[in-house]
Copies of this chain bind each other. A is one copy, B any other.
Amino acid sequence: MKNCDLIIQSDYLVTMNDQFDVIEKGAVAVSGGLIAAVGPEDEIAAAYRSDKTIGGRHTVAFPGLVNAHTHSPMVYFRGLKDDLPLRVWLEDHIWPAENRWLGHEFVADATELACLEMLKAGITAFSDMYFYGEAIALSVKKAGMRAVIGAGILDFPSPAAATVDDYLANAERFIGNWRGDGRIIPAVAPHAPYTCSPETMKRAKGLSERYRLPLHLHLAETEWEVQEVLSRYGMRPVELLNHHRILDNTVIAAHCVWATDDEIGMLARSGTNVVHCIESNLKLASGIAPVVKMLASGVNVAFGTDGAASNNDLDIMSEMATAAKVHKAVSGDPTVLNAAQAMRMATRSGAGALGIGEKTGSIEAGKSADIVIAGLNRPHLMPLYDIYSHLVYSMKSSDVSDVMVEGRLLIEEGRPVALDEGAIVEKARYWGNRIREKA
């Protein structure tokens, strides 16, 4: 009989291991932040002892969800303007708001709200791309989550920097501050092929290679981008980055809505990780990424929410449900993107995209205890025939009750343990009022 820090019991322990094992009346022993053992409840009870047991009857446990592409501080612009053409929305509303408001305090406060929203929705890790990475990292650290935090790079000035040299120097300083942290992974984030020249892309890539860190970028999001890149460089966006040897398995490429069959081949062969942000792509009328083809070609596809300004939430469960349904209609085949596959994309594929697949993304002995528990004893989850079906098609993020990262409970019975929800909500209201007055 060994001691452990905590035991999780669950009617359905959805491991997301290679065999997609679901253990009915399963348990997990957690010790020193790691998963010590996984198995049937009675086996774990016979081998491990702990003062604390969570979960229990009428719950499901699954690996922490991964939000592989977001701009978390943009939660403060949630619903600022909707239902507008993309360029009007960006140029008349979002960019002016960013230029007016962005700064360390704004970004730190907004990121705390984003972390709280994500944690409550069962998200334990995310990949961010924005500015003021230092502020983002401090808030993520406080929240107890994992994040890949990309330092944004553009060919033009923004509140964060004036020149490409400045952006790169900021990125390198940020990397120096956070490299080696257990939960924060700094990254380099050249915005997109239409906002960063191939030269800038190559410099960003060089920086990411030097420190062996992810390269996070937008790619082939809109048809306009494809035409713009084609007219400037004579190549389509994916083709262009492939030509300049930017693509490999350290790249987190958001969107890829307009990837052709040839380009899907390039993404597959290079090992590029694609992040499917279906709700944002739908809402901005950007299009619907050929995800079924990408999966068939062996591309690693994860889910992302994009920023809350274009979504308007940070909810991976909702992305799973939307994607699993929309791709059936678009392909005319109700068997594509089944529930277990969607769940895999939201967990293991996400962890793989962030480069932390060895550490998280499934419930297996030796991995970090990044685990979510949700309640099943609810009218909208009755009756239950297939747990994957429920996770993808019926469950809401509001069913999440407990969330842990590295074995530390961050949400317990629906309430944050470390973060102060009342204070975070008050700060959001304060900033929201200021932004509204100037909008």
List residues of chain A with CB under 8 Å of any chain B CB. 75-76, 78-86, 89, 113, 116-117, 120-121, 279, 281-288, 308, 311-315, 318, 321-322, 324-326, 328-329, 331-335, 338-339, 377-380, 382-386, 389-390, 393-394, 396-399, 421, 424-425, 428-429, 431-433, 435-436, 439
Contact = CB atoms under 8 A, between A and B. Distances in A.
Nearest to A338: B83
Given A325-B282, A328-B283, A383-B428, A79 B389 contact: yes
A424 B380 CA distance: 11
Contacts of A312: 389-390, 393-394
A436 B339 contact: no
Given A285-B328, A315-B380, 8 more contacts: A75-B382, A79-B389, A83-B339, A85-B335, A117-B380, A120-B379, A286-B329, A398-B399
Given A334-B86, A383-B431, A78 B285 contact: no
Q: How many copies does the complex hold?
A: 2
B436 A313 contact: no
Contacts of A383: 76, 78, 428-429, 431-433, 435-436
Contacts of A432: 382-385
B113 A382 contact: yes
Nearest 7 CB-CB pairings of A with B: A383-B432, A398-B398, A382-B428, A79-B389, A282-B325, A83-B338, A312-B393
A212 to B, nearest CB: 34
Nearest to A314: B380
Contacts of A429: 382-383
A77 to B, nearest CB: 8
A396 B394 contact: no
Contact of A394 (B79, B81, B385, B425): B79
B397 A313 contact: no
Contacts of A436: 383, 385
B283 A385 contact: no
A380 B120 CA distance: 9
A339 to B, nearest CB: 6
B390 A79 contact: yes
Q: For A89, A333, A334, A389, which residue has the most chain B Cβ atoms within 10 angstroms? A: A334
A18 to B, nearest CB: 20
Contacts of A431: 383
A284 B333 CA distance: 8
A407 to B, nearest CB: 24
A324 B318 CA distance: 14
Contact of A334 (B84, B120, B315, B378): B84
A329 B318 CA distance: 17
Given A79-B389, A79-B390, A394-B79, A326 B384 contact: no
Name which of A76, A284, A397, A425 has the most chain B CB atoms within 10 A of its CB: A425
A374 to B, nearest CB: 12
